[in-house]
Amino acid sequence: GVTSFCPTMVSSSRQTYRRILPKMRIARKQQQEKHHVSNNNDRVGANILGMHLEGPFFAPSKRGAHDLQHIKGIASVEDVYGINKNEGDEVPQLEDIEIITLAPELPGAFDAIQSLTKPDSSTSSATNPHTIVISCGHTEATYKDGIQALSHGATLLTHLYNAMNSFHHRKPGLVGLLSSQAKLGTMGLKRPFFSMIVDGIHVHESAVSMAYQSHPHGCVLVTDAMTAMGLGDGDHMLGSMKVCIKGDRATLAGTDTLAGSVVSMDTCVKRFHQFTGCSIGEALLCATLHPAMVLKRHVAQQKRSEGGRLLDAPIGILEVKAKADFVMLNDELDVLGTWVG
């Protein structure tokens, strides 16, 4: 039931970023070319959007299943990811990146957030400056740190509750931002979107419901799925880390540390609907419109057309001139068919 997705990389070496990011750009370009070929019956699968780079700018204590040797403090994004515009298409470009998850409490994080979300027009294309969605995650951030991150341009929290400080009635942490509409409003800020892994393992059903009831319009369902999804029990790899799969649970081998998920999006939607008691329509919004809003792809990004097709047509919605992406479900939310426009 997935029509678009952001491929995600765990914290990696500079060499790995330089190798993988250009490959994903090539794959995305090839996919777009197939879409533009008339009467093309090749199955091209879900649309590949920009990359989600989860790391490596994390609090070491909240690294979860990420390899400690790759965790870094805030440094030059271009240097860490191997970005160099002067080397051509064979190396990563800033435009390859859609989302970066980082720990906002790290020294230099606020300046980095602002530079990535609000690029200086003097150094970016005046007609289409590339901006990156900054998400706060794998972090020891306090409530105040969260507000500062929002004020500098962050708009998302990565897999709420996991790899962040727990909510406490005197130290609410990032979770407290969900119920802070009044306070943030006085500061000219909006509550962040928040992603949740609703596999029944990462977050208890009562915590899922509590977060959703607090900020229903900000909820984004994610799978956090690793490459072992659908492969059954056994040992698999997540980056450089060995992971043990047993049922729906993925853990670092020899530990109880959760290492991503092996549950698909349709299962997450079903469980979310069950845990929150929301309507089917409300559950589907968390897997369609809300993630599109995070990426600002629910509206046309460019008003140009090519061969009768609108470039960067909206996704996550069903309306005229939006991409013809849609999923057919039955009343039990089983996927009957998936169409990718």
Catalytic residues: 224
CA 19 to chain centre: 21
Q: How far apart are CA 172 and CA 145, in angstroms?
A: 11
Q: How many CB atoms sit inside 10 A of residue 246's CB?
A: 11
- Percent helix, strand, coil in the chain, to 5, is 35, 20, 50
Tokens of 114: 């602002």
Nearest to 199 by CA among 159, 228, 254: 159
E strand or H helix that includes residue 335: strand 335-339
How far from 194 is each of 130, 162, 214, 225, 279, CA to CA, in Å? 22, 12, 11, 17, 19
Nearest to 339 by CA among 329, 324, 322, 317: 324
Nearest to 133 by CA among 296, 327, 8: 296
Q: How far apart are CA 268 and CA 56, in angstroms?
A: 27
Q: How far apart are CA 229 and CA 256, in angstroms?
A: 18
Tokens of 15: 């060499």
E strand or H helix that includes residue 47: strand 47-48
Counting beta carbons within 10 angstroms of the beta carbon of residue 86, is it exposed (0 to 12), middle (13 to 18) or buried (19 or more)? exposed
Q: How far apart are CA 199 and CA 268, in angstroms?
A: 6
Write down the residue that tokens 């972090």 correspond to: 139
CA angle 94, 98, 102 (to 5 degrees): 90
Q: 56 preceded by cis ω (within 30°)? A: yes
